[in-house]
Structure 1
Amino acid sequence: MSEGTHPVTAVRRFNRFYTSAIGVLDRRYLGSPYGVAEGRVLYEIATGPGGGEGVTPKRIGEITRMDAGQLSRIVGKLERDGLVARRRSATDGRSIELSLTPDGAAMFAGFNQSSAALAEQLIGGLSAQERRSLVDALETAQDLLTPGERPPAPIVLRGHAPGDMGWITERHGVIYGREYGWGPGIEAVTARVCADFLEHFDPDREHCWIAERAGERVGCVFIVKDTAPETARLRLLMLEPSARGTGLGRRLVEECVRFSREAGYREIVLWTHAVLTAARRIYAAQGFEIVETWEHDEFGAMEVSETWRLRL
């Protein structure tokens, strides 16, 4: 994935490629008279717990996440076509089990052989090393996209590096535009803050924290010098939606307070807006207090701005 590609865009692009490559959109999947949904139901019946000798519709639904009504219609069609049979479960009289008829087993064997041939055709031009790389990539993708089976990667904080200021500017424009309807004014303000930080950076009195999870940037905040020598200014606290609810916002603000105390500042001030309720709760919890409010329309709509102050 290129650095500028959003993960959602990459996933959707791969979905389009792969569904076309394996013929998912064909009504006659793999040369059979059935579509991919019917083929998947045949697969689950053939390879289920009973190895073709019996699997419940409930279990098929759990595995495929198929709508119960759709699954019922597919099973009914396969029964009418003589490929699937049902019987009352020997262990639970309230449940039924599905199995393949001889015709169903023959149909599945054809499906299975055609599917394997198609996969081999897709990878036929790859070297042994490329095939190993493909297997690793597919297994990684499956692990990453399987919910609930692994703990989330830890979020780490680091200082700024080349490329971070462009990301900060871009994400402020996108997130605040999408969530609050702010116009290009927020991106312009953010770009000026980032440019000033880089041009006048004083490592003893200023700092930028970038939060990363598994190598992906998910948040940021700055401490910079204000006009008064004993006053620090907290700027550009921002979290990606994926990092919210993790305590990251509180952690970033705590880092700002710690750094400011160690740098010898006597107070921290910040500019925020009444609409940013989550950030305001974090500031209040750290002991910041509102000292000034005013209105402006710099971002395209009338907003209530606030100055907050924390005495150190």
Structure 2
Amino acid sequence: MTVQDIRSFNRFYTNVIGALDYGRHLYAPYTLTESRVLYELAHSPTADAADLRTGLALDSGYLSRILNRFEQDGLVERAAAQDDLRRRRVTLTARGREAAELLEERARETVGALLADVPPADRPRLAEAMRTIRTILGDPGAPRAEDVVLREPGPGDLGWIVQRNAALYAAEYGWNTDYEGLVARIVADFAEDHDPHLERVWIAELDGRPVGCVMCVRDEAPGTARLRLLLVEPDARGLGLGDRLVRAVVAFARGVGYRDLVLWTNDVLAAARRIYLRHGFVLAAETPHRSFGKDLVGQDWRLDLREAAE
């Protein structure tokens, strides 16, 4: 790689994401730097001026002028921090939160339009490539595999499983609300009646928020468990999280005495299929069907748990 390679990529990428945004639609009426300050304040409610200056690598005088303008416009309030009177805590006002939410909405629309032209099968690869760049170049905010924890669901997590499955599969594959209904029934059945010794849900958590999930439930066939609703958020892909979730199900199912582990998926979910193959699942049957507003090929996969553990 040469310096020219990096400069060429930078020119390409800043143009693609609209960083220069000469028309100012994305950031109006703020500059890019002002928008970054609003974003940090919206996502770090306890920030002070020193935190902002360090996190955004801004000159103290430049940041002071931005905060002065924000205060004059009624976007922020500044007060001495209770634990250190020498530091000035900066918080968004109601008007400031509205401005930050508007910028966030514009950013989501812009990125959504960009991803609309990316084939669903290529999106995990794109996310992984972006994460690789951040990690290699030393971004301290880049997520790491060791930062993700697997835990049992807490209040609201089952609802999150339904919402995120519906939203992601609609965005990435164009599935309609029939899929949301299916997920809602699966989750409701688990919530209303499950054996905690033989059935379980895992939530993957990163930085205090859920970024993945999977379920292990009893199947109708005796001695058989079923893996359901494997999901990893786009910004957490590339960390091996799908493998960890599937590994947790396999270990649990084998540990409580199931003989077989089965799952149903569709051929368009290429990334998930690669994970199942790595863990020893074997394709048992394929059936064309029309579901969720699409023509699909359903696949039944099976893993013999009596074979030697990985």
The TM-score by the shorter chain falls in which range? 0.5 to 0.7
78, 84, 88: which one aligns with 1:132: 88
Corresponding residue SS for 1:133: strand
User: What is the one-letter code of the residue matched to 2:168?
Assistant: I
Unaligned runs of 5+ in 2: 1-23, 35-56, 92-133, 306-310
Does structure 1 retain, via aligned residues, the 8 Å contact 2:214–2:227? yes
* TM-score, reference length from structure 1: 0.58
Deviation per CA, 1:245-264: give whole Å up to 9, x if none: 11100111000000001111
2:303 paired with 1:310 = yes
Match of 1:161 in 2: 154
Q: Which amino acid aligns with 1:149?
A: D
Higher relative contact order (CA closer than 8 Å, sequence separation 6+): 2
Shift of residue 18 of structure 1? 8.7
Q: Does 1:118 align with 2:69?
A: yes
Is contact 2:284-2:299 (8 Å) kept? Answer: yes
Pair 1:215-2:190 in alignment: no
Are residue 266 (structure 1) and residue 259 (structure 2) matched? yes
Matching of residue 181 in structure 1 with residue 174 in structure 2: yes
| SS, match of residue 250 in structure 2 | helix
List alignment gaps of at least 5 residues for structure 1.
1-14, 26-35, 37-62, 65-108, 136-146
Deviation, structure 1 residue 113: 9.7
**Residue 176 of structure 1: CA displacement?**
0.7
Q: Answer yes or no: is the 8 Å Cα contact 2:226–2:262 preserved in 1.
A: yes
- Taking a change above 3 Å as real, the CA distance of residues 295 and 119 of structure 1, as seen in their structure-2 partners, is closer
Give the 3 Å change call, closer, same or farther, for CA 132–282 of structure 1 in structure 2.
Answer: same
Of 143, 159, 174, the match for 1:152 = 143
**TM-score normalised according to structure 2 size:** 0.59
Q: Distance in 1 between matches of 2:152 and 2:298?
A: 28
Q: 1:229 deviation in Å?
A: 2.9
Aligned to 1:235, what secondary structure does the other structure show?
strand
Alpha-carbon distance, 1:166 to partner:
1.2
- The DSSP-based 3-state class of the residue aligned with 2:89 is helix
Percent identical among aligned pairs is 46
For residues 165 and 16 of structure 1, do their structure 2 counterparts lie closer, same or farther at Cα, with a shift above 3 Å needed?
A: farther
Alignment: residue pair count: 208
Letter in 2 for 1:197: F
- In 2, the alpha carbon distance for the partners of 1:181 and 1:17 equals 26
Alignment of 1:20-31 (within 5 A): 20=29
> What is the rounded CA distance, in whole Å, between the counterparts of 2:298 and 2:63 in structure 1?
63
* Structure 2 letter corresponding to 1:215: G
Question: 4+ runs of 1 displaced by more than 2 Å?
Answer: 15-20, 111-133
Q: Over aligned residues, Cα RMSD in angstroms?
A: 3.7
> Does the Cα contact within 8 Å between 2:224 and 2:258 map onto a contact in 1?
yes
Amino acid at match of 2:89: S
Aligned with residue 278 of structure 1, among 271, 279, 288: 271
**Distance (Å, rounded) in 2 between the aligned partners of 1:114 and 1:310:** 62
Q: Name 2:41's counterpart in structure 1.
A: none
**Distance in 1, Cα, partners of 2:248 & 2:186:** 19
Larger of the two Rg values belongs to structure: 1
